[in-house]
Amino acid sequence: MKGRPTIIVIDFGSQYSQLITRRLRELGAFSEMLPPQQAGNLASHEHLAGVILSGGPSSVKEAEAPGLAPELLALDVPLLGICYGMQLLAEALGGSVEAAARREYGNERIETTGSSPLFKSTPSVQTAWMSHGDHVASVPDGFEVHARSGSGTLAAMSNVGRRIYGIQFHPEVSHTEFGMQLLENFVREICGIEEAWDRGSFVEDQIVSIQETVGNDRVLCAVSGGVDSTVTAVMAERAVGDRLTAVFVDNGLLRHREAEQVAANLKDLLRGHLVVEEAGDKFLDQLKGVTDPEVKRKRIGHTFIDVFTQTAKEHGPFKYLAQGTLYPDRIESLSVRGPSHVIKTHHNVGGLPEELGFDLIEPLGELFKDEVRAVGTELGIPAEMLHRHPFPGPGLAVRILGEITPERLDLLRRADHIFIEELVRSDQYDEIWQAGAVLLPIQSVGVMGDARTYQSVVALRAVTSRDAMTADWSRIPDDILARISNRIVREVDGINRVVYDISSKPPSTIEWE
């Protein structure tokens, strides 16, 4: 995003920090998130247009609470403090912060006073989402109070001349009635940014960037058929053409006919620059007798690396590895209290280790998932590939509880195929974030044609979600569930009982293993 006006979000640990960044991008303003430790370096940022200080779980009164870099106050750009961020600004500039006699959590009515560009085009009385125990007791010199809650708590302050603003509530959450309008006012009226985040120009910029980085060298890319790796591979192919080799490893753990469909789709999209490794037997050999889900994952991961490494040697040499790392993958490793001890393994390429010796190309490293889909559309990738449900890297191995055998894989594939087919047929598929069948390690008594059966049980799992951090079970209509169940029991010999999982996340996870 070189050359584009940028708003930096300083993350003080709020559960909504990523959401602030997303909201700004929805408004057409490019934004990035940084930990407080990096805030002091912003003076050298060539295209800095504004800074937002997020909320956070700490109290500014705590000795160990993350503080405000003094360099921020010397920047000649607008500042907006949200909740904890506002309290930091108040203390740093000479105001005072106290523990509230009445904590405010949830929807609160606020009333604005005076005139502030932050509240332009919003009513004087509105509903906002509060979540705080401390509050600003007195504003710094030169600041005005621009809103109070129904209980009298100071809800907004500003020094318009210095372009410093603070609000006690969270405009980024949907519960704040005019939150998007406030953020738009900050972006347009205060920071002076018109729409600068353009998918078409992003694609062009990234293709040029890949070309400049790679030069005449060759690029390797692991593809799974998922959205992230597909968009990455297509972008790389547009940049370097026949100097790209994409590798699709068929691990034998995919859904019904999925390997053939993925290979056919990718060969077409990548104009033939695809190598398909059929390695199902190798993976199944490694999974014989294994029932522990963590052992399954590790063996699958190690086998993938072995197969991929051998393929790279056969078709190489390669200097670069393109992978579909997304912005959430990068910022999950940031911490408000210092470097994270746990770095997330990127699922896109099976956790390829650094010692393989490639230089990384991550063209999607500044994007969220919905933005990746928009970029994919810009690249001409078919909608059915861009809007596939997420599918676990270890495949059906973590949807078969217990030992993995060819026979159990066959049972699950057939049941899962019926489930997905009926969701598509009934126009439910696009309403659901993720759906799949799970083969349980138990058998159930049944009756078919007056004969006793003792066969396997399948659980159906379907959830709605925005980002998979939380999820609720999907309310699939009863008649559709009945049709799915009847078809599975009738058509899949070996399954005589179907159950539907109505657990939400938390406390349950989306996948069973």
Which positions are catalytic?
83, 170, 172
Cα 349 to Cα 323: distance, rounded to the nearest angstrom: 7
Place of tokens 């990127």: 346
Cα 60 to Cα 400: distance, rounded to the nearest angstrom: 49
Cα 502 to Cα 244: distance, rounded to the nearest angstrom: 44
Cβ atoms within 10 Å of 213's Cβ, excluding its own? 16
Is the bond preceding residue 317 a cis peptide, omega within 30 degrees? yes
Cα 73 to Cα 16: distance, rounded to the nearest angstrom: 23
Query: In terms of C-beta density within 10 A (0-12 exposed, 13-18 middle, 19 or more buried), how is residue 307 classed?
Result: buried
Q: What is the DSSP-derived secondary structure letter of residue 318? A: -
What is the maximum alpha-carbon separation in the chain?
86
> What would you report as the CA-atom Rg of the chain, rounded to the nearest whole angstrom?
26
Cα 280 to Cα 282: distance, rounded to the nearest angstrom: 5
Q: What is the dihedral of CA 435, 439, 440, 446, to 10 degrees?
A: 110
Q: What is the DSSP-derived secondary structure letter of residue 478? A: H
* Pairing relationship of beta strands 274-278 and 164-167 according to DSSP bridges: unpaired
Cα 267 to Cα 244: distance, rounded to the nearest angstrom: 12
Apex 238 CA angle, 235 and 241, nearest 5? 125
Cα 143 to Cα 480: distance, rounded to the nearest angstrom: 59
Place of tokens 């014989």: 288
Q: What is the dihedral of CA 83, 10, 23, 210, to 10 degrees?
A: -170
Helices (H), 58-130: 70-73, 84-92
Helices (H) and strands (E) counted in the chain, each on its own, are 14, 18
* Pairing relationship of beta strands 164-167 and 79-82 according to DSSP bridges: parallel
